[in-house]
Chains A and B, each alone.
Chain A
Amino acid sequence: DAGVTQSPTHLIKTRGQQVTLRCSPKSGHDTVSWYQQALGQGPQFIFQYYEEEERQRGNFPDRFSGHQFPNYSSELNVNALLLGDSALYLCASSLQRRERGTQYFGPGTRLLVL
């Protein structure tokens, strides 16, 4: 049973550039959530996708956008990168209608903005 996968594992960009991160959820899961984890902090919720729609959004600017595909995989796009966007980006998948809805995380994509 494949777990949550993310690509790429590492990425280096310069200020002002745009980046796309990808996530494949755990088999059977239909909901994908994205988190940003800065150094020394806990994961901060960016947004959640279910049925190809953004269902919830955290306190992140519109530069952060996403997409969910019919196969439940998801992309996170960040435009006009800032130095402060350097972080570990985590994808988590879950089942929306499952009572417990436990989220399972991928290994993350480490983004460095220079």
Chain B
Amino acid sequence: DQQVKQNSPSLSVQEGRISILNCDYTNSMFDYFLWYKKYPAEGPTFLISISSIKDKNEDGRFTVFLNKSAKHLSLHIVPSQPGDSAVYFCAARDLTSGTYKYIFGTGTRLKVLA
């Protein structure tokens, strides 16, 4: 049972335009959400996070939006740059067992076209 879903396996965007990556989750007990970027042959790199008590967090070109009622979060990259081309994973923190663990989506491959 996939608790964190990224339904778009790939996305292509022109340089300078907005990239929007989406993520849906099923567990309302998740309290913290993160986005990671992954280049080939490297581990995932932390990008941006949001607490479940917020609905928006912004860091430079990256903004994450959280819609708790829809159990949906999105990552906006504006403006998109060719260096942003990578696989993006969303992750949700599960605290139901006392200590936390993170559950990851399957990733979205973003390609920014020059």
Residues of A within 8 A of B (CB): 4, 6, 33, 35, 40-45, 48, 50, 55-56, 58, 90, 92, 96, 100-108
B16 close to chain A: CB less than 8 A? no
- The answer to whether the Cβ of B83 comes within 8 Å of any Cβ in the partner chain is no
| Residue numbers in A under 8 Å from B36 (CB-CB) | 105
Q: Which of B42, B45, B46, B89 contacts A43 (CB 8 A)?
A: B89
Indicate with 1 or 0, residue by residue over B26-61, a CB within 8 angstroms of chain A CB atoms. Answer: 000000101010000111111001010000000000
Measured CA separation A101–B95 after assembly (Å): 11
Contacts of B107 in A (CB 8 A): 41-42
Residues of A within 8 A of B4 (CB): 42
B85 within 8 A of A: no
Complex contact A90–B102 (CB within 8 A): no
Chain A neighbourhood of B101, CB < 8 A: 33, 45, 48, 56, 58
- Is the contact region of chain B dominated by helix, strand, or loop, or is it mixed? strand
Take A43-B89, A55-B99, A100-B49 as given contacts and tell me if A106 and B43 are in contact as well, using a CB distance cutoff of 8 Å.
yes
Question: Once the chains are docked, how many angstroms separate the CA of A41 from the CA of B4?
Answer: 12
Chain A residue, CB-CB nearest to B95: A101
Q: Is the C-beta of B93 less than 8 angstroms from some C-beta in chain A? A: yes
Residue among B44, B49, B105 making CB contact with A90, cutoff 8 Å = B44
- Write the nearest CB–CB distance from A56 to chain B, whole angstroms: 5
